[in-house]
Amino acid sequence: MSEQSPIAWRYCGHQFKMWRQEAGVSREDVGKESNYSPDTITSFERGVRRPTARLLDIGD
C-alpha cells in the first residue's frame, strides 16, 4: 500500500472542513466526538496531519 501524498491530505482535509462548515459543526464538536483537540482538527483540515479513520468516521 502506498503512502498518501501531502496533496491528498490537503484535499481530504479541505473536503472535511467544507462538510463541517456546511453542517454547522464546530471544531470543538468534532474534537469531542473524535477525542482530538480543536488544534489537531485544524491540522487535519490544513493537510498538516494525515486524516485518520477516526476523524473521517465523524463525517458519516
Predicted pLDDT at 1 = 44
pLDDT value at residue 11: 95
DSSP letter for each residue of 11-49: HHHHHHHHHHHHHT--HHHHHHHHT--HHHHHHHHHTSS
pTM of the model: 0.81
Q: 51 in helix, strand or coil? A: coil
pLDDT mean over 8-32: 94
- Inter-helix orientation angle 6-23/38-46, to 10°: 120
Q: Average pLDDT for residues 19-24, to the nearest whole number?
A: 95
Give the pLDDT score at 27.
96
| Domain locations along the chain | 16-58
Q: Does the pLDDT value for residue 59 go beyond 70?
A: no
